[in-house]
Each structure stands twice: as structure tokens, then as C-alpha cells.
Amino acid sequence: MATKGNEQVSNGAYRNQRLTYDSFSGNEENKKREKHFLWWCAGAYQELLKDCPSEHSKYAGLGGVVLATFVLASLSAGYAIYSVFNDPIWAVLFALIWGAIIFNFDRFLVATMRKYGVSRRKQVWMATPRIALALLIGVTIARPLELKIFEKEIDVQVTENRHKKILLNDSLLQAENRNVLAVAQQERDRLTARKVSLEDTLHRLQHAYVQEADGTGGSFRRGIDKLTKMKQEAYQAALLQLGPELHQLDGAIHYQDSIIAGVNATKDVKNKGYEAQVTADVGFLEKNKALSDLSGKEGSVFWANLLISLLIILIETGPILSKLIMGTGPYDLALARKELLQMASEEDQMLREIEQIRERPERSSTEQAV
């Protein structure tokens, strides 16, 4: 009977153990590791914190907040670098480096803030420069994430900004070449007018002898060879006289056309080169300007952008704010006691060493006197 009862007890205990999550191998150990890692993130002195069970969750939460800023900073920096260099390897490397910098800075801030023996006002005053620096870091982190959130709207605004840039560049090139084109066009118009005038003169002379020959003009009498020949000779003489000038005018007009065509071709080449440069990869600054333009035009974008910025800044300042609102607990008392006792011990040791240094000259002078 006793054996049977023992078996029932052991079976019941075994079943209870199987129904407990903590009974699985390694689970309790993993929890301890996670807890100690979060304590380390919070910059806590773990040997003291172990003796303060009521403070475990508080400092684990603080470590989680510090860790969250590391993740946020890494994502922000990685996206910013990827937008500039379009290289995932460099983006990941810089993201980890930047995240580590922010993590160590936040960990340093929360680790050096003391609660016991310091008034709330003094804590806030001492944390003000740190909060200001955290705000600056928060703004730096927030901007790349905002660019990613409003990516589609930014792409539309970037296209509009590019079109404006191309039109502005075209107008600048036109203004740059306006004088050359105006002079060339004016000279071409003058030459063309002179050519038209000479051609009209020749056309009238030619028409006059033709009409005289067929009787449709002039004397209106067909067959008067003398008049016809005289008018034909007048036309031929004018053609001989004006022909070289017409040839020169054609060459001059062609030259002015080449000037105008050359200026326009150069302008087109510059326009295409600038357009290719503008429509290449979208840079970080261009996206940033597009977001600023959107915020200026659209009130909804402005407020959404502001709220997102404030949220990210709040997350970045979370470690310091969390440390400020935390109440003084057993860990703070134990830490203050350890630091003060150590400081007092070091101070006593320093005073004793100073006394020993002062006594040495007195002893040497006494020995010399003896």
C-alpha cells in the first residue's frame, strides 16, 4: 500500500511538473539570461540588484526601453545610408555602429543618474542637458523614418520638383543665350528682307518682258521684239548685277542659321545632360526637401509628420524620462550606501596618506636636530 501511494504521489508530481512551463529544460535559464541582459542594458549594478527582488522588473523594463532606442536608431541610420549609397552591406554596418553609439550613450545616461539623496527638481535640472541632447538625437533618428513612412507621397513631390528644376534650367539657358539668338535672328531677318527685295525686283523685270513677249502686259501688243528684247536685257542686266549679292545673302543667311542652330543644339545638350543628372538616383537631401515641401503645402502631412517626429523623439528620450519618473527603491538605497561607503573609505585613506606625507618632513628635521 505504501509503495502504491508513493507511486501515485510521484506520478502526480510528474504530471504537475509536465504542466509547468518552467519545468522545460533551459527555460528558466533563458529567462535569467534575458533578465540579466536587460539589467546590463539599463546600466544596473547586478550584484546589488540581485538582492532587491522588487526592483528586478523595474530595471528589466528600463533596459527594454534602452534596447528599443538601439533598434530604432539602427533602423533609421540603416535606411538613411541605404538611401544615399544604395548598398545594403554598408547600410547594415553603419546601422549597427550608429545603433551601438546611441545604445551606449543612453546606457551611460541612465547609469549615471542617481535617485537617492537628490531632489526631484535637481534631478530634472541635471537631466535637462541630457534631455536636450536626446532631443537632438531623436530628431536625427526621426527624419529618415519619416522619409520612409511618406515614401509614396515624397516620390510624387520629387517628380514635381524635378520638373520645376528642368523648366528653371531651360529658362536660365534661354536667358544665357538670349542676346546671341536675338542678334543672329535680327541679322537674319535683315538679310532675308534684303534678299526678298532683290528677288521681287528681278521677278518684276522678268514678268515685264514675259508679258511684253506674249502681249499680256506692257504695250499689250504681241510681237514687238524691240520692246521685248529691251526688257529682257534689262532683266538680264539686273540679274548679272544682283546675282552675286543674292549669292552672298544666301551664304550670310546660312551662316546666321548655323549660329542659331548651334546655340539651340548646345542648349538642348545641356538640357538633356541636366535632365539626366536630375532624374538619376534620388538623394537623401532631395527626399528631405520634398518632405519639407509637402509639409508646407499639405496641413495633414505637416501634422502627421509632427506627431511621428514627437513619437520617435519620445521613444528616444524614453530612457531618461523613465529614469526620472522611477521612484526611489531598495536598489537605489543599496547603491547609494555602497558608493558613499566606498567614497568615505577612499577619502579616509587619502587623508591618512596626506598626514603621512606631512609627517615625513617633521621626522627628518627631528632626526637632523638629534
pLDDT tens profile 7-27: 444 454 444 444 444 554 456
Rounded Cα–Cα distance for residues 209 and 226 (Å): 11
Per-residue confidence at 93, pLDDT binned at 50, 70, 90? very high
Q: How much is the pLDDT for 7?
A: 46
Rounded Cα–Cα distance for residues 252 and 177 (Å): 20
Total-model pTM: 0.56
Q: How much is the pLDDT for 10?
A: 47
Q: What is the dihedral of CA 90, 68, 307, 83, to 10 degrees?
A: 10
**Lowest-pLDDT range, 65-79, 178-192, 206-220?**
206-220
- Confirm if 276 and 165 have CB atoms less than 8 A apart: no
Phi, psi of 327 (to 5 degrees): -80, 165
φ/ψ region of 121 (left if φ > 0, alpha if ψ in -120 to 50, else beta) reads alpha
Decide if pLDDT at 1 tops 70.
Answer: no
Which helix (H) or strand (E) is 179 found in, with range?
helix 151-214
Length of the chain: 370
What's the grid cell of residue 91?
547600410
Rounded Cα–Cα distance for residues 3 and 326 (Å): 55
Give the list of residues 6+ apart from residue 295 with CB closer than 8 angstroms, or none.
301, 302, 305
Q: How much is the pLDDT for 133?
A: 73
Rounded Cα–Cα distance for residues 45 and 54 (Å): 15
What's the grid cell of residue 109?
545616461
**Lowest-pLDDT range, 15-29, 133-147, 275-289, 306-320?**
15-29
The mean pLDDT value for 167-188 works out to: 85
For residue 126, count CB atoms less than 10 angstroms from its CB and return exposed for 0-12, middle for 13-18, buried for 19 or more.
middle
- Confirm if 253 and 189 have CB atoms less than 8 A apart: no
Output 2 or 333, whichever has higher pLDDT: 333
Q: How much is the pLDDT for 224?
A: 53
